[in-house]
Amino acid sequence: MSEIDAADRLTIYADYVCPFCYLGKQSLEQYRESREDALELEWHPFDLRSGKRNADGSIDHDADDGKDEAYFEQARENVRRLQAEYGVEMSQEIAADVDSLNAQLASWHVSKTDPDRWAAFDAAIYEALWQDGRDIGDPDVLATIAEDVGLAPGEIRDAIDDDGLRAELEERFADARQRGVTGVPTFVHEGRAARGAVPPAQLEALLEGE
């Protein structure tokens, strides 16, 4: 059993292609830097593209998900506002054409097989997309990211092609929906939740029960 008390655990539902998940992680890191006690994170994957995903796992970019240009412009505006608020630079504001499924498969594999390296891999995936503008849906990109943080690139390629692992990931996606998670990032602590790239003070209030 972990020595970290339940009061020092935070669950986060996130998808790598969500700019607010990246910004929310920056806010979380700012909170953690000001926190005296250690904070254990539990990552739960979420598929923002589920409404446009075909049976074979590919994305139907022509499917109507209700997100028109006005939606994306508002999203861009919100991203710019949060970038300024948190002091974060990003190479792009939206990544509508990037599919995170392979990245989530790779991340899920690492979280189970090498949990001590997962945080570094998770951060590197976000940075590759939002800092460097790389396509994290590309297995070659993911293999390189893995190697950069000390993971075996061959294992990452195998994980991406593992049908059993994909079934597990689909179960995690379904579990998130069953728990009422409809958008990301969603931070959960002891039955209470905060949704969105909330500021460090709100994360502190969530953890402290205020």
CATH number of residue 201's parent domain: 3.40.30.10
139 pLDDT more than 60: yes
Question: Is 108 a domain residue?
Answer: yes
pLDDT in tens, 62-112: 888 888 889 999 999 999 999 999 999 999 999 988 999 999 999 999 999
At 56, is the pLDDT very low, low, confident or very high (cuts 50, 70, 90)?
A: confident
Q: Render the burial of 19-58: b for 16+ CB within 10 Å, e for the rest.
A: bbbbbbbbbbebbeeeeeeebeeebbbbbbbbebbeeeee
Question: Is 149 a domain residue?
Answer: yes
- Mean predicted confidence (pLDDT) in 136-154: 98
114 pLDDT more than 90: yes
Average pLDDT, rounded, for the chain: 93
6 pLDDT more than 90: no
- Mean predicted confidence (pLDDT) in 136-142: 98
Q: For residue 52, give Cα distances in angstroms to 16, 18, 49, 65, 96.
A: 16, 15, 5, 7, 12
155 pLDDT more than 90: yes
Question: Is 2 a domain residue?
Answer: no
Question: Is 189 a domain residue?
Answer: yes
Number of domains in the chain: 1
- Mean predicted confidence (pLDDT) in 19-24: 98
Residues of the domain holding 70: 10-56+66-208
Question: Is 3 a domain residue?
Answer: no
210 pLDDT more than 80: no
Angle at the Cα of 38 from the Cα atoms of 112 and 205, rounded to 5 degrees: 105
pLDDT in tens, 160-196: 999 999 999 999 999 999 999 999 999 999 999 999 9
46 pLDDT more than 70: yes
Percentage of the chain modeled with pLDDT above 70: 96
In this prediction, residue 61 carries a pLDDT of 80
